[in-house]
Amino acid sequence: MTTKVHRVFSLQRGHVVLAGLPSVGRKSVCKLAAFVEEMNIVRLEITKNFGLLQFRNKMKTVYELCGYNGRDKLKTIFLLEETDIVKEEFLEDI
């Protein structure tokens, strides 16, 4: 599975949605493929009062990072897990 994710990440505008049972290593596969491709990884940092406004601000910074080619001009991965979706509106914004 790592090679398939790596192949998608190496494509221009490559994106992937990984779904499956818990604890099968989706996050680890993404992190490994991102490391091999020398990509930035951005995740949400959920706090107690994390709401729609904070989510939109975070997405704004992710879009800016992608638009400016990120830190050190690297590609960027936005890693969103099921536990990060605390409000249904998050999915509507994406």
Amino acid at 5: V
Q: What's the pLDDT band for 53 if we cut at 50, 70, 90?
A: very high
pTM attached to this predicted model:
0.74
Domain range for residue 74? 2-93
- Residue 70 is predicted with a pLDDT of 55
On the CB side of 22, how many CA atoms lie within 13 Å of its CA? 3
Tally of domains within the chain: 1
Q: Kindly state the average pLDDT of the residues 13-42.
A: 84
CATH code for the domain of 48: 3.40.50.300
Q: For 57-75, how does the pLDDT look when each residue is reduced to its tens digit (9 = 90+)?
A: 988 988 888 777 655 667 8
CB neighbourhood size of 65 (10 A)? 16
